[in-house]
Amino acid sequence: MRLTKSLGLLAAAVAFTASTAALAAPTFINILTGGTSGVYYPIGVALSQQYNKIDGARTSVQATKASVENLNLLQAGRGELAFSLGDSVADAWNGVEDAGFKAPLKRLRAIAGTYNNYIQVVASAESGIKTLEDLKGKRISVGAPKSGTELNARAIFKAAGLDYKDMGRVEFLPYAESVELIKNRQLDATLQSSGLGMAAIRDLASTMPVTFVEIPAAVVEKIESDAYQAGVIPAGTYDGQDADVPTVAITNILVTHEKVSDEVAYQMTKLMFDNLSALGNAHSAAKDIKLENATKNLPIPLHPGAERFYKEAGVLQ
């Protein structure tokens, strides 16, 4: 009898220990961003600081090649939250191979639509580039191969009747490297997709005279994607930029995957919107994140945890 009772107590103790260990297991939240000189990275760092408030959370921020790489990593379960351009999210969901997705990424789920990226075509003043047509024969960088930026470049050049073969040289480099080559007179221009006030372009504009090249609304209308909308880089965004610059705007989306628990997705969504001022302090682009826009025009399903938050907030019925 005593032996049976002892065994029972031992079994109960083992079960309690196991359940306690399970409850104490850390919740890993790896945030996939972009290059450290871009906008995704500082906002990702600000988010990680808020997510440390989640019980048992262990957060990390990973610098990546941004949209396309981020979405493929999420599908593989190698991250819990990622930044991506809206057109890349749509291509991932549909499995557009030419955009870098070998098959449809159906594990992806949306957390929120956030701020817009703006296509920023910047040229050294001495290059003489003032229009998209002037890029012919010039040396340009268009972002890492099959990155969100590079896919944007392809779409815009096609709509403008241009092709990479029209350029004198095309480099596939991220923000900081592109800017350094322009400074060193080894490139004439770069096309970058980013939030306004991006650090690398601020650095370039403060170092040497530059020209911001317009992308006319007529070109935007020819792009075969609803993700691309006419936008404006407001005057004064960068040193020496004295006039508004018509361009393309594309919504950024925060994406997770279906294996992230409903509670964690709920907390990630809530903590972001409860702390927008902290994100805005990390980068001014985040000041454009609005709760009322978070669920609009998303090309993938909302995560149930995020959906719960939006219902509580009155954004969804």
Q: What is the pLDDT of residue 13?
A: 47
In this predicted structure, the answer to whether residue 16 has a pLDDT above a threshold of 80 is: no
Q: State mean pLDDT over 174-180.
A: 92
Q: Within 10 Å of residue 157's Cβ, how many Cβ atoms?
A: 20
Q: What distance in Å separates the CA atoms of residue 212 and residue 245, rounded to the nearest whole number?
A: 7
Q: What is the DSSP letter of 302?
A: B
Q: Which helix (H) or strand (E) holds 297?
A: none
Q: What distance in Å separates the CA atoms of residue 270 and residue 305, rounded to the nearest whole number?
A: 10
In this predicted structure, the answer to whether residue 166 has a pLDDT above a threshold of 90 is: yes
Cα of first residue to Cα of last residue in the chain, in angstroms, is: 59
Q: Within 10 Å of residue 183's Cβ, how many Cβ atoms?
A: 14
Angstrom CA distances, 246 to 30, 283, 287, stand at 36, 22, 21
Q: State mean pLDDT over 207-236.
A: 95
Angstrom CA distances, 282 to 61, 111, 175, 279, stand at 14, 20, 18, 5
Domains of the chain: 28-114+252-313 (3.40.190.10), 118-250 (3.40.190.10)
Q: What distance in Å separates the CA atoms of residue 14 and residue 37, rounded to the nearest whole number?
A: 50
Q: What distance in Å separates the CA atoms of residue 12 and residue 83, rounded to the nearest whole number?
A: 45
In this predicted structure, the answer to whether residue 25 has a pLDDT above a threshold of 50 is: yes
Angstrom CA distances, 185 to 79, 213, 216, stand at 38, 18, 27
Q: State mean pLDDT over 153-159.
A: 96
Q: State mean pLDDT over 35-57.
A: 95
pLDDT tens per residue across span 205-215: 999 999 999 99
Q: What is the pLDDT of residue 219?
A: 97
In this predicted structure, the answer to whether residue 85 has a pLDDT above a threshold of 50 is: yes
Percentage of residues in the chain with pLDDT exceeding 70? Answer: 92
Work out the mean pLDDT of the chain and round it to a whole number.
92
Q: What distance in Å separates the CA atoms of residue 296 and residue 220, rounded to the nearest whole number?
A: 20
Q: What distance in Å separates the CA atoms of residue 246 and residue 112, rounded to the nearest whole number?
A: 26
Type of residue found at 27: T
Q: Which residue has the tokens 């409850």?
A: 23
**At 8, is the pLDDT very low, low, confident or very high (cuts 50, 70, 90)?**
low
pLDDT tens per residue across span 38-48: 899 999 999 99
Q: What distance in Å separates the CA atoms of residue 173 and residue 186, rounded to the nearest whole number?
A: 13
C-alpha angle with apex 102: 96 to 106, nearest 5 degrees?
Answer: 75
Sign of the torsion formed by the C-alpha atoms of 172, 92, 314 and 52: negative
Q: State mean pLDDT over 143-151.
A: 87
Q: Within 10 Å of residue 152's Cβ, how many Cβ atoms?
A: 27
Residue 214 near residue 246 (C-beta atoms within 8 A): yes
pLDDT tens per residue across span 272-300: 999 999 999 999 999 999 999 999 989 99
Burial label for 224, CB within 10 Å (0-12, 13-18, 19+), is exposed
Q: State mean pLDDT over 51-64.
A: 96
Residue 60 near residue 48 (C-beta atoms within 8 A): yes
